[in-house]
Amino acid sequence: MKAVYSFFKSVRLTIVLILVIAALSLLASLVPQRRPDAWYRSHYSPFVSALIRLAALPRFFSSAGFLVPALLLTLNLGVCAVDRVVRRVKNKSTPRYGPDLIHLGLLILIAGGVVTALGRQETTWSLAVGEDAALNSTYALHLLSLQYLKYDNGAPKEWTSTVRITREGNIEIPSFPIRVNQPLRLKGLSVYQTAWELQGILDLKDADGQEVTATTGQGFPLGQSFWYFAEAQKARDAWSIVAVEYEGKEMKPVSTRELRAGDTLGPYTVLGITAREITGLKAVKDPGFAPFLAALVIIAVGLAVTFVQKNASRYSADSRRGTPADSRRGTPADSGRAEA
Amino acid sequence: MTATAGLLCIALAAVLQAGFLLRRENRRDPVSHWLLAAAALLLFVTLAERSVKISFVAVTGTYESLVFFSAAICVVLFGLRLALRTRGMSPFVMFGATFVCLVLLILSSSPLAPKDVQPPIPALQSYWLVLHVTFSFIGESFFVVSFVAAVAFLATRSEDRRADMDRLITTSIGIGYPVFTAGALIFGAIWAETAWGSWWSWDPKEIWALITWLIYTAYLHTRLVRKMRGRISAVLVIAGFLATLFTFFGVNFLLSGLHSYG
């Protein structure tokens, strides 16, 4: 037990683990994460692709290659934090709370990260004005209005989804504008503005005379091709849909068509086209966010305390020597070495 | 116009510092830091003008980031030059850091950094972002000083000069590290949570900011805890600065992700 404790309280271990994690993260950052296996096969040579998958680089940050050194560093950090306190009590040395707070904050941050990784829940909706979405078994959201502002150059300036929140049928929040960077916070749940879309709606008649409805974002196979309804456009007060034809395993676009009412595409005849604005909303429940915030506060306080204590001890050392601060031979950091 | 004037001030400061370096008297010129202060002022005026045009703090594009970074380096050099009057801020470090600053500002004039004034898209309209960007660059400005001092440390055999450089590295990282931690990691994570609902996404920029932070953390442990003043610590400082540069340039231009706009 003592040997294990000695092993984990080693600062040399800390340095080695930090550098190992940095080096592995560097490697992983060069490989796009969380793509399907086929993507790596098509973008790298067979040998490199096999190597990437063997090293679990596509999902590196949830693989043993990252988690094992991260776990060891966490244990190392915990033991070092405890050991600092134990040594201070034994030696009755000058307390330096800054590093203690930073270490404690980092441990809470890691705990928050684990809680987030295991417990974070996310739901997305595409809603038109007047539509509802259940946030959970108690709360529901109703989209009152949707606003999309653009700059003069056409770039997006602001998306605002104004919503009403009800609790078991009773109005809880009559109106709240959700914007990018301004989420709705509600009892541990946050609702974010994520997207805006002009959704085209096609009323179609198939070869059997059956009427079906399709929207932009959908498509259908036709022979060796796949036709995709890409976007809605308006010209001379009439809507049209841009359809893109893709071919082959890699789905390369080969042609486009602008569909209007009366046009035919494969077995389908377009009866009519309309469009509506859709907002993209995302609800997130992250039980790791509160510990994360607490950790940030503790780390910030720890950094400030470290800075203040080092400066204070530097100036007291200078005044004991009777030397001005700017001609000293030591550094602010040197003055804090005794306990490190 | 003001940015060009700022560039000229920095270039003039570099020439002056180089002249004093070549005289081999180890004397610091009395003017260049004032030129750097003037350059910083001019660069901040450039950013203020652009901020007025877009009605937001202009630090959201590559050009503006480079201008801010250069201005921050000028301020840090000016401050350290005044604060460390008798020792520490050697002519070589002043020149080296001014040269880095000059290169960054020249890059801001290149096609890599379009100069069109672009208003911020919705995701960038956050004061957490402003804190994230400004604090990160202020921290990194201290890393520039530590980088040049580490190069000087490795280049010299004089124990006295090594001790001076070691002190300068520790002082600059001692200030830069908490500022960088606050900017790159703390404010960045809060902004990400507010904008996207996820405080950490393993985006390439986040990974590289973490790598940079880990390298400087390793340095602090080697230097302050293990009391290693030698080459390993200096090499870590150089590696940390290279990671800083890659976090900005490499990730922006080579790796795509959430930060691909700036």
Question: Would you call A304 an interface residue with chain B, using a CB distance cutoff of 8 Å?
Answer: yes
Distance CA A227, CA A339 (A): 69
Angle at which helices A64-91 and A11-29 cross, to 10° = 150
Whether A310 sits inside 8 A of B174 (CB atoms) is yes
Terminal-to-terminal C-alpha distance of chain A: 23
A242 burial via Cβ count (<10 Å: 0-12, 13-18, 19+): middle
DSSP class of residue A188? T
Kindly state the tokens that stand for B89. 């801020």
Which of helix, strand or coil describes residue A155?
A: coil
Residue pair A325/A314 in contact (Cβ under 8 Å)? The answer is yes
Three-state SS string across chain B, please?
A: CHHHHHHHHHHHHHHHHHHHHHCCCCCCCCCHHHHHHHHHHHHHHHHHHHHHHHCCCCCCCHHHHHHHHHHHHHHHHHHHHHHCCCCCCCHHHHHHHHHHHHHHHHHHCCCCCCCCCCCCCHHHCCHHHHHHHHHHHHHHHHHHHHHHHHHHHHHCCCHHHHHHHHHHHHHHHHHHHHHHHHHHHHHHHHHHHHHHCCCCCCCHHHHHHHHHHHHHHHHHHHHHHCCCCCHHHHHHHHHHHHHHHHHHHHHHHHCCCCCCCC
Whether A303 sits inside 8 A of B178 (CB atoms) is yes
Whether B174 sits inside 8 A of A333 (CB atoms) is yes
pTM of the model: 0.86
A212: left (phi over 0), alpha (psi -120 to 50) or beta: beta
* Other Cβ atoms closer than 10 A to A11: 15
CA distance B8 to chain A (A): 31
All residues at 6 or more sequence positions from B113 whose CB lies less than 8 Å from its CB, including other chains: B61, B62, B63, B66, B107
Chain A, residues 244-303, CB within 8 A of chain B, namely 282, 284, 286, 289, 292, 296, 299-300, 303
Count of CA atoms in the C-beta half-sphere (13 A) of B148:
22
Chain A, residues 153-172, CB within 8 A of chain B, namely 153, 155-159
pLDDT digits (tens, 9 = 90+) for B109-126: 888 788 888 899 999 999
Between chain A and chain B, how many beta carbons pairs sit less than 8 Å apart? 136
Sequence letter at residue B92: F
Phi, psi of B228 (to 5 degrees): -90, 115
Q: Minimal Cα distance from A103: which residue of B?
A: B217
**What residues of B are in contact with residue A13 (Cβ under 8 Å)?**
none
Buried b (16+ CB within 10 A) or exposed e, B234-261: bebbbbbbebbbbbbebbbeebebebee
Whether A12 sits inside 8 A of B196 (CB atoms) is no
Nearest to A285 by CA among A116, A164, A52, A107: A116
The enclosing H or E element of A18 equals helix A11-29
CA torsion sign for A58, A61, A66, A68 is negative
Distance CA B243, CA B140 (A): 11
Nearest to B151 by CA among B92, B101, B102, B104: B92
Nearest to A225 by CA among A207, A209, A212, A243: A243
Q: How distant is the alpha carbon of residue B85 from its chain centre?
A: 22
ipTM of the complex: 0.85
Pick from A15, A158, A181: CB nearest B222: A15
* A288-292, A329-333, B93-97, B131-135: segment of lowest average pLDDT: A329-333
**What residues of A are in contact with residue B193 (Cβ under 8 Å)?**
289
Confidence check: pLDDT of B89 > 90:
no
Residue pair A106/A303 in contact (Cβ under 8 Å)? The answer is no
CA distance A117 to chain B (A): 10
- Model pLDDT, residue A338: 31
Chain A, residues 105-134, CB within 8 A of chain B, namely 113, 116, 120, 122
- pLDDT band at B85; cut points 50, 70, 90: low
Confidence check: pLDDT of B257 > 60:
no
**What residues of A are in contact with residue B163 (Cβ under 8 Å)?**
329
Whether B222 sits inside 8 A of A327 (CB atoms) is no
Q: Minimal Cα distance from A179: which residue of B?
A: B122
What number is the average pLDDT over the span B72-91?
Answer: 85
Cross-strand pairs, A178? A161
Nearest to A175 by CA among A147, A201, A209: A147
Whether A289 sits inside 8 A of B193 (CB atoms) is yes
Kindly state the tokens that stand for B218. 């390793």
Residue pair A135/A186 in contact (Cβ under 8 Å)? The answer is yes
Count of CA atoms in the C-beta half-sphere (13 A) of B228:
17
Question: Would you call A149 an interface residue with chain B, using a CB distance cutoff of 8 Å?
Answer: no
Which of B161, B177, B196 to mutate: most A Cβ within 10 Å?
Answer: B196
- Model pLDDT, residue B15: 94
Residue with tokens 């001692």: B174
Task: Give the pLDDT of chain A (340 residues) as one tens digit per residue.
Answer: 788 888 998 989 999 999 999 999 998 888 888 888 888 888 888 899 888 888 888 889 989 999 999 999 999 999 999 998 888 888 777 778 888 999 999 999 999 999 999 999 999 999 999 999 999 889 999 999 999 999 888 888 999 999 999 998 899 999 999 999 999 999 889 999 998 889 999 999 998 999 999 999 999 999 889 999 999 998 888 999 999 999 977 788 999 999 999 999 999 999 999 999 999 999 999 999 999 999 999 998 998 888 787 777 666 665 665 554 444 444 434 433 333 3
Q: Minimal Cα distance from B206: which residue of A?
A: A29
CA distance B194 to chain A (A): 5
Pick from A25, A61, A155: CB nearest B119: A155
Which of helix, strand or coil describes residue A283?
A: strand
For chain B, give the mean pLDDT. Answer: 90
Distance CA A226, CA A245 (A): 6
- Model pLDDT, residue A85: 86
pLDDT digits (tens, 9 = 90+) for B196-249: 999 998 889 999 999 999 999 999 999 887 777 788 899 999 999 999 999 988
Question: CA angle A240-A243-A247, nearest 5°?
Answer: 175
Pick from B126, B202, B211: CB nearest A61: B202
What number is the average pLDDT over the span B48-76?
Answer: 94
Question: CA angle A159-B184-A122, nearest 5°?
Answer: 45
Residue pair A271/A210 in contact (Cβ under 8 Å)? The answer is no
Question: Would you call B32 an interface residue with chain A, using a CB distance cutoff of 8 Å?
Answer: no
Residue with tokens 């849909």: A241
Residue pair A164/A171 in contact (Cβ under 8 Å)? The answer is yes
**What residues of B are in contact with residue A304 (Cβ under 8 Å)?**
178
Residue pair B98/B32 in contact (Cβ under 8 Å)? The answer is yes
